[in-house]
Amino acid sequence: MRLHNLAPRPGAKHRKKRLGIGESSGHGKTSGRGHKGQKARSGGSVRLGFEGGQMPLIRRLPKRGFNNFEFKPVYAVVNLDTLEERFPAGAKIDEAALRSLRLVHGRNDGIKLLARGVVTKSFTVEVDKSSAAARQKLEAAGGSLVLRERQTKIAGRAILKAAPRKAVKAA
């Protein structure tokens, strides 16, 4: 196979449907929209899930269960081989150092160290979580792992409770 032999798969390429270009084209007059009706008008279509006023399926089915997606902690992942490539031996690696090299970016609930690769240098790594294999490889190379104290999302928020009202006697 050579570059001049390459071609897209049969049926992968389509010519653009040219609308309103005369009766004999097959897409003239109503341009494939049919006669009258809401869907023939400009801007005329119904929203996703609309069933013409009938109670939509999404509202007919009962809601059940709980979705934890909003509350699940999301960790930025850093692998040992990345640290081996980017940091000199004896380096102290924390979130600020990882962010400065763009190894961690955006918002997350912490940093997790994983064990991909081989470590020959010794580092002092400060992260929120670590796999057992990553800790083992790091300590075997003479490095150390410091786990940061984990803070929950709720810890930063003030939980307000309404103070009980005292009954006031009428004079």
Return phi, psi of residue 25, to 5°: -75, -20
This prediction's pTM? 0.56
Q: Is the pLDDT of residue 149 over 90?
A: no
Judged against a pLDDT cut of 70, whether residue 165 lies above it is answered with no
Token pair of 51 as six digits: 């069933």
**CATH code, residues 76-149:** 3.100.10.10
Instruction: Look over the chain and give the mean of its residue pLDDT values, rounded to a whole number.
Output: 87
User: What is the structure's pLDDT at 166?
Assistant: 57
d(CA 15, CA 24): 17
